[in-house]
Chains A and B, each alone.
Chain A
Amino acid sequence: GQNIDQPTEMTATEGAIVQINCTYQTSGFNGLFWYQQHAGEAPTFLSYNVLDGLEEKGRFSSFLSRSKGYSYLLLKELQMKDSASYLCAVREYNTDKLIFGTGTRLQVFP
């Protein structure tokens, strides 16, 4: 079956670092995506990992361990505008379908 787990909510302080974890159990794997979604808006692409290791993109980094079925999104130098939901999504092998987690709602406080 398909199962993607993320914490429901997290809070952090402006300027801090936060790590959002995602674990997955899927019948096939062909990459993991992180999307950011502000309330009432569409998801926007943040990062993609298909090989093990860390991908860095400015203030955001994403890590993948395929053997552990585990990924995290690291947000540095948090800003108020980073308050949003962060969705972890796994792409099924040999298709373009994404299986989404329920998302982690991050609140950044001053």
Chain B
Amino acid sequence: DAMVIQNPRYQVTQFGKPVTLSCSQTLNHNVMYWYQQKSSQAPKLLFHYYDKDFNNEADTPDNFQSRRPNTSFCFLDIRSPGLGDAAMYLCATSRAAERAYNEQFFGPGTRLTVL
């Protein structure tokens, strides 16, 4: 089945220790997103790729970086995690198409704990 996969599902890291979260998709969608969702809050868009074009949200901290080496994979790098970065990180994909709605398909998320 076509899907969005995130690994790992649960990640524990130490304060200040770099961590990388991964996302892959078999949908062949050209747009990929990373969201941060804290408990009882809305998903907050960090950045997205439109094909290879990287689009950073204005309020995304520099501590967060992303890479998209090819259509299928996208990575979220947190260079120096702080306690406030503990959250669920959601990857989503969509197929951008003019004049057509394009729902976003979400992966199962990676829950990050920072000790």
Contact = CB atoms under 8 A, between A and B. Distances in A.
Nearest to A98: B104
A83 to B, nearest CB: 15
B3 to A, nearest CB: 11
B105 A45 contact: yes
B105 to A, nearest CB: 7
A43 interface: yes
> Which bucket holds chain B's interface residue count?
20 to 34
B68 interface: no
A97 B45 contact: yes
A40 B106 contact: no
> Which bucket holds chain A's interface residue count?
20 to 34
Contacts of A50: 101
A42 B48 contact: no
Given A101-B42, A103-B42, A41 B108 contact: yes
29 contacts: A35-B106, A40-B88, A40-B109, A40-B111, A41-B109, A42-B90, A42-B106, A42-B107, A42-B109, A43-B43, A43-B106, A44-B106, A45-B103, A45-B104, A45-B105, A48-B101, A48-B103, A87-B42, A96-B48, A96-B50, A96-B94, A97-B45, A97-B48, A98-B104, A100-B44, A102-B40, A102-B41, A103-B40, A105-B40
Interface of B: 31, 40-45, 48, 50, 88, 90, 94, 96, 101-109, 111
Given A45-B104, A96-B96, A98-B104, 17 more contacts: A4-B42, A40-B109, A41-B109, A42-B107, A42-B109, A44-B106, A48-B101, A48-B103, A87-B42, A96-B102, A97-B45, A100-B43, A100-B44, A102-B40, A102-B41, A103-B40, A103-B42
Interface of A: 4, 31, 33, 35, 40-45, 48, 50, 87, 96-98, 100-103, 105
